[in-house]
Homo-oligomer: A and B are copies of this chain.
Amino acid sequence: MEELKDICRVQVRFSEIDSMRRVWHGSYVTYLEDGRESFGRHYPGIGYADMQRSGIYAPIYDIHIKYYAPLAINDVAVIHTSYVYRLGARLDYHYKIYRESDGVLCAEGETVQLFIDADGELMVDKPDYYKEWQGRYLHPAEKL
């Protein structure tokens, strides 16, 4: 089936450049979040507003980033964000960050989000908004 994927562009900011004149590695966490938010606008239903409405949030439980090539001032980061289906009450994304000027792959990342209810307890079952979202966008075999 079709991959759920979004592409967005982010201009490197001066404040993100470190004293080695490359984007500080921690700024890529913001780029992944930019990717995730752009993905959420592309495939609506699991955005922050949906979480706030239901009182069920999905904080990050695991983040992993590998850096291959630097980004510098005046670069544009092209962020490819793909939804990764995995069984259970979890929300996984995979990211690839390219340098726009020459198409070089600069970094790759993965995040895992789990759901917590209004009391801050980890949820074993998927919240309704996530089931509905999966029902809308996933292949039946993945709607478990």
List residues of chain A with CB under 8 Å of any chain B CB.
Answer: 11, 13-15, 17-22, 24-26, 29-30, 33-34, 37, 48-49, 57, 59-67, 70, 73-74, 120
CB <8 Å contact, A74 and B49 = yes
Which residues on the B side are within 8 Å of A37 (C-beta)? 11, 13-14
Q: Identify 5 new A-B residue pairs, CB closer than 8 A, beyond the known A22-B59, A26-B26, A60-B67.
A: A19-B21, A26-B30, A26-B33, A48-B74, A62-B67
Tally of this chain's copies:
4
CB <8 Å contact, A18 and B20 = no
CB <8 Å contact, A59 and B67 = yes
For the complex, what is the distance from the CA of A21 to the CA of B15, rounded to whole Å?
Answer: 12
For the complex, what is the distance from the CA of A13 to the CA of B15, rounded to whole Å?
Answer: 14
Query: Please, could you name 12 A-B residue pairs with CB atoms under 8 Å apart, sorted by A?
Result: A13-B30, A13-B34, A14-B18, A14-B19, A14-B33, A15-B30, A19-B73, A25-B60, A26-B30, A29-B29, A61-B66, A63-B63
Which residues on the B side are within 8 Å of A19 (C-beta)? 14, 17-19, 21, 48, 73
